[in-house]
Structure 1
Amino acid sequence: MSTADFQIEEAEGGSARLRLTGDWTTAGLGRSAQSLSDKLSGRKISGVDLSGLGRFDTAGALVIVQASDCVFPADAWAERPEAGRVYAMVEKLERETAPPPRRPDPFTQTFAKIGHGVADVGAEFVLSMAFLGRLITSTGTALAHPGRIRWAAWFSQAERSGLDALPIVAVTNFFIGAVIAFLGANLLTQFGAGVFTVQLVAVAVLRELAVLITAILLAGRSASSFAAEIGSMRMNQEVDAMQVMGVNPFQALVIPRLAAMVLMMPLLTFIGMVAGFFGGLLVTWSQLDYGPAFFIQRISEDPNMGTHLMVGMIKAPVFAIVIAAIGCRQGMAVSGDVESLGRRVTAAVVQAIFAIILLDAIFALVFLELNL
Structure 2
Amino acid sequence: MLTIGKRDASGTTAGEADHEPRVAIGEEDGVLGCAFSGIWTTRTVALVDADMRKIEKRSGFKTLALDVSKIEKMDTAGAWLIDRLVSAFEKKGVEIQMQGQSEIASILLEAVGEAVRREPESGPVRPPNIVIRALEAVGRRVYEMRDDFLASMNILGATIRGAQMKLGRGHAVNPAAIFNQIDRMGVGAIPVVVLMSAIVGAIVAQQGAYQLSYFGADIFVVDLVGVLILRELGVLMTAIMIAGRSGSAITAEIGSMKMREEVDALKVIGLNPIGVLVFPRLVALVIALPCLTIIANFAALGGGILAAWLYSDIPPAAFIDRLRVAIDLSTIFAGLIKA
C-alpha separation between the residues in 1 aligned to 2:58 and 2:152?
61
C-alpha separation between the residues in 2 aligned to 1:5 and 1:286?
95
Cα gap change, 1:176/1:265 in structure 2, threshold over 3 Å: closer, same or farther? same
Which of 302, 312, 319 is the aligned partner of 1:278? 302
SS at match of 1:290: coil
Aligned residues: 302
User: What is the identity, as a one-letter code, of the residue corresponding to 1:155?
Assistant: F
Which of 51, 54, 60 is the aligned partner of 2:81? 60
**Contact 1:185 1:284 (8 Å CA) reproduced:** yes
The 5 Å alignment of 1:1-372 reads 17-20=31-34, 26-30=46-50, 33=53, 36=56, 48=65, 57-58=78-79, 60-68=81-89, 76-78=98-100, 81=101, 89-96=108-115, 98-99=118-119, 102=124, 105=127, 107=129, 114-302=138-326, 304-316=327-339
Cα gap change, 1:120/1:133 in structure 2, threshold over 3 Å: closer, same or farther? same
**Contact 2:64 2:96 (8 Å CA) reproduced:** no
**Contact 1:169 1:272 (8 Å CA) reproduced:** yes
Cα gap change, 1:193/1:93 in structure 2, threshold over 3 Å: closer, same or farther? same
C-alpha separation between the residues in 1 aligned to 2:214 and 2:54?
78
Cα gap change, 1:22/1:146 in structure 2, threshold over 3 Å: closer, same or farther? closer
C-alpha separation between the residues in 2 aligned to 1:185 and 1:216?
26
**Contact 2:79 2:112 (8 Å CA) reproduced:** no
Question: Following TM superposition, by how much is the alpha carbon of 1:59 offset from its aligned partner in structure 2, in angstroms?
Answer: 5.4
Question: Following TM superposition, by how much is the alpha carbon of 1:144 offset from its aligned partner in structure 2, in angstroms?
Answer: 3.5
- Kindly report the root-mean-square deviation, in angstroms, between the aligned alpha carbons of the 2 structures: 3.8
Q: Which moved more, 1:244-253 or 1:95-104?
A: 95-104
C-alpha separation between the residues in 2 aligned to 1:8 and 1:178?
96
C-alpha separation between the residues in 1 aligned to 2:36 and 2:168?
89
Gapped regions of structure 2 (runs ≥ 5) = 1-20
- In terms of fraction of residues, the more helix-rich structure is 1
* Percent identity between the two aligned chains: 31
C-alpha separation between the residues in 2 aligned to 1:88 and 1:153?
70
SS at match of 2:65: strand
Cα gap change, 1:49/1:238 in structure 2, threshold over 3 Å: closer, same or farther? closer
Normalising by structure 2, what TM-score?
0.75
Question: Following TM superposition, by how much is the alpha carbon of 1:137 offset from its aligned partner in structure 2, in angstroms?
Answer: 2.1
**Contact 1:65 1:91 (8 Å CA) reproduced:** no
Cα gap change, 1:39/1:113 in structure 2, threshold over 3 Å: closer, same or farther? farther
Gapped regions of structure 1 (runs ≥ 5) = 11-16, 317-372
